[in-house]
Amino acid sequence: MNQNRVSQEIESLREQIRHHDWRYYVLNQPEISDTEYDRLMERLRDLEEKHPELITEDSPTRRVSGAPLSGFSVIAHETPMLSLANTYSREELGEFDQRVKKGLSGERYEYVVELKFDGVAVSLVYESGSFVQGSTRGDGFHGDDITANLKTIRSIPIRLISSQQSAIPKRMEVRGEVFIDRRSFDRINRERQNAEEEPFANPRNAAAGSLKLLDPAQVAQRPLDIFLYACLASEGIPATHIETLDLLSRLGFKVNPNRMLCQGIDQVIEYCDLWEDRRKDLPYDIDGMVIKVNDFGQQARLGATSKNPRWAISYKFPARQATTKLLDISLQVGRTGAITPVAILEPVELSGTTVSRATLHNADEILRKDIRVGDRVIIEKGGEIIPKVVQPVISVRTGNEIEFRMPGECPVCGGGVIRLPGEAAYRCISVNCPAQVERVIQHFASRDAMDIEGLGPALIKQLLSEGLIKDYAGIYALNEKRGQLLQLERMAEKSVQNLLDGIEKSKGRPLGAFIFALGIRHVGRVAAETLARRFGCIEALSVADDEELEKIPEIGPVMAESIRAFFKSERTRSVLSKLLDHRVGRCEGKGVESAAGEGLKRKSFVFTGSMLAFTRTEAQDIVRRAGGQVMTTVGKKTDYVVAGDDPGSKLAKAQKLGITILNEEEFLQMIEPFITEIHLH
């Protein structure tokens, strides 16, 4: 295929994909199946990889590209992103209307009323129809440049619809609100809990936290969406706000359909009242309505204060609250060991449901609000989803209320409780706490940890319920319980033998994997490898003090305290002793750093193509354990590109940047000194 035909096919694919993105993410009216869409995208990726010179920044394949950012640069807004003043009653809306009437000296005017989304305000800049820059609101005058993160949001067009080209201003700024719908928010929080991360408090926090991630690839995993509600340009914009919203829709932007042109403040109030009742039916959160003077000329004449425009205002819905009695405060131990106080309430109706439990967040929050057992308390649904205790009604106290104190022992297992610097949560650190033991064992047996073949979540649950294991040390005594294993559901002679073989094989796992498997809070895979290289033996690590740990550049004070607390626990020492008795967690002598000098320290590698001697994951593990860094993209800071069979576009980019390229044989020669040291399996 000649270059001209390739170029034409690439542009045709891009147009088709943009059209289907618009139909799916903006209109919610897909025309093709997911499989057909994936084929289009795969064909485009294939052509662009073979012809990197034809890649453009507005290609649909460029939504997630580049290495993680080291931070966000600050940019100035050409027009300040002012916040809206708030009103909370019909009377205050009437006062706003009187100010508008006075400011316009008797002119006739109209209002546009829209939903007030509970999300994160952003600015998008387009030049000649292409998205070139995006930023947060910041302080209204300066915001963070989050262009790369905003490109991952599929409802934001990277290039505007070509059929509307004549209507597109040469340069335009569009403003909107990034949000996460409630169903997606619930899914994110379930995933975070499974990954031992703190759940987000509400969808707005989830959206804000996602936009501040430094790796666009991570942002792309979050279900962010957007509604656009304003457009600024020097030319080509209609004279009114309502017409501009229609223009944005025609250009391919996602504009919320729930809006109304009102002829007076009474009609505005009626529309606000309507949505106060209807908001519970929406799939996303709103916390009020926005009222704007429709005519842009009138907006200009009304002007703004230093903080707020005089031509627009926000009407905030009253929080839906109820009052009830706090009967008790119970403590829940989560799968990560976090101990969370929960309010046990006298049942009360709130927003259509009966509420008998509510979150109290943490001990600091209880102390700050002075919440006591026996109090009359005000509760509300945060974001209309999660019931929370707002405050006690102190005026009706009898003196019999009981102050809350966080216990020094885990309420489930009686094990030690710690609170690390910078964390609000108290945590149980016992490795055999029943509330978290299932998750702890799953992590211990996982691929990046002890990699025990055949020991999956379902079998772990069976082993625990049958009392065959109580902690992860018990795994290594299962060879003495073959008969009981054969009695388990779906366990025959062959599957039992495979399990026992997998358990025996895991004893040869490297020390870094073993340290990671122990599940020490804040100690991930990379930190575990660092500790293995530094100490070379689990016994040496278990007695290291804070000063010794903090001397290691990658280990900060929070991680050091977490490591010390873990090994100080009597229960940890007991389980660790049983593991060592089974010859699990072997010493590795001096470790890679001292045995091989600096190793590959401060050297960065990118892999492309397939290798014969190792899988790509194995090769990357060797580099990491020898002190090197593995990168996913080629950049100026890349030291080596390892090119196997059938390399992709990374090879061409490395050649263009003059980066050292290693074939598989050259790479093997480089890593040979480290292979024995890291016990590759």
| Tens digits of residue pLDDT in 552-604 | 877 878 888 889 888 988 888 888 889 988 889 867 654 444 334 456 767 88
Backbone angles phi, psi at 115, to 5 degrees: -70, 145
Which is nearest to 133 in space by CA: 123, 141, 143? Answer: 123
Range scoring the smallest mean pLDDT among 181-190, 384-393, 604-613: 384-393
- Whether residue 463 is predicted with pLDDT greater than 80 in this model: the reply is yes
How much of the chain exceeds pLDDT 70, in percent? Answer: 91
How do beta strands 338-350 and 142-144 pair? unpaired
- C-alpha separations of 371 from 13, 310, 327, 360, 396 in Å: 60, 41, 12, 9, 13
Average pLDDT over residues 190-214: 80
Confidence band of 157 (pLDDT split at 50, 70, 90)? very high
Average pLDDT over residues 28-41: 78
Measured distance CA(640)–CA(605) in Å, rounded: 5
In this structure, which amino acid lies at residue 383? G
Contact between 168 and 81 (Cβ < 8 Å): no
- Whether residue 378 is predicted with pLDDT greater than 50 in this model: the reply is yes
- Residues 527, 530, 535, CA angle at the centre, nearest 5°? 125
So what's the pLDDT on residue 254? 94
Q: pLDDT higher for 48 or 91?
A: 91
Measured distance CA(65)–CA(59) in Å, rounded: 11
Q: pTM for the complete prediction?
A: 0.53
Q: pLDDT higher for 174 or 42?
A: 174
So what's the pLDDT on residue 521? 80
Confidence band of 38 (pLDDT split at 50, 70, 90)? confident
pLDDT in tens, 239-251: 999 999 999 999 9
Long-range Cβ contacts of 22-31 (<8 Å, 24+ apart):
22/157, 22/161, 22/252, 24/154, 25/154, 25/155, 25/225, 25/254, 26/155, 26/157, 26/252, 26/253, 26/254
**Domains observed in the chain:** 3-62 (1.10.287.610), 86-316 (3.30.470.30), 321-403 (2.40.50.140), 409-589 (1.10.150.20), 600-678 (3.40.50.10190)
pLDDT in tens, 413-448: 888 888 877 677 788 877 778 777 888 888 899 988
Token pair 């262009």 in the structure block, residue: 147
Average pLDDT over residues 156-171: 80
Q: pLDDT higher for 101 or 8?
A: 101
Contacts of 146 by beta carbon, 8 Å cutoff, 6+ apart: 72, 122, 134, 135, 136, 211, 212
Please give the structure tokens belonging to residue 22: 């618009």
How do beta strands 312-316 and 86-87 pair? parallel
Average pLDDT over residues 9-25: 83
pLDDT, averaged across the chain: 85
Secondary structure class of 544 (helix, strand, coil): coil
So what's the pLDDT on residue 384? 46
| Residue 422 exposed, middle or buried by CB count within 10 Å (0-12, 13-18, 19+) | exposed
Average pLDDT over residues 385-389: 76
Q: pLDDT higher for 134 or 633?
A: 134
Average pLDDT over residues 516-526: 86
Which is nearest to 132 in space by CA: 113, 151, 105, 104? Answer: 151
Beta strands in 303-395 (DSSP E): 312-316, 321-333, 338-350, 353-359, 372-373, 376-382, 386-392
For the chain, the straight-line distance linking the first and the last C-alpha, in angstroms and rounded, comes to 45
Confidence band of 660 (pLDDT split at 50, 70, 90)? confident
Confidence band of 336 (pLDDT split at 50, 70, 90)? low
Contact between 391 and 377 (Cβ < 8 Å): yes
Average pLDDT over residues 124-150: 91
Which is nearest to 57 in space by CA: 171, 127, 162, 158? Answer: 158
Backbone angles phi, psi at 349, to 5 degrees: -80, 135
So what's the pLDDT on residue 349? 80
Which is nearest to 271 in space by CA: 258, 283, 287? Answer: 258
- Whether residue 677 is predicted with pLDDT greater than 60 in this model: the reply is no
Q: Is 325 a catalytic residue?
A: no
- Whether residue 59 is predicted with pLDDT greater than 60 in this model: the reply is yes
Measured distance CA(444)–CA(455) in Å, rounded: 10
Question: DSSP readout, 492-541?
Answer: -HHHHHHHHHHHHHHTTS-HHHHHHHTT-TT--HHHHHHHHHHHSSHHHH
Average pLDDT over residues 217-223: 88
Range scoring the smallest mean pLDDT among 65-74, 313-322, 413-422, 557-566: 65-74
So what's the pLDDT on residue 545? 84
So what's the pLDDT on residue 165? 66
- Whether residue 66 is predicted with pLDDT greater than 70 in this model: the reply is no
pLDDT in tens, 250-284: 999 999 999 999 999 999 999 999 998 898 889 99
Question: DSSP readout, 232-295?
Answer: EESSS--SBHHHHHHHHHHTT----S-EEEESSHHHHHHHHHHHHHHGGGSSS-EEEEEEEESB
Highest mean pLDDT among 26-40, 410-424, 479-493 belongs to: 479-493
Point out the catalytic residue in the list 50, 102, 116, 461: 116
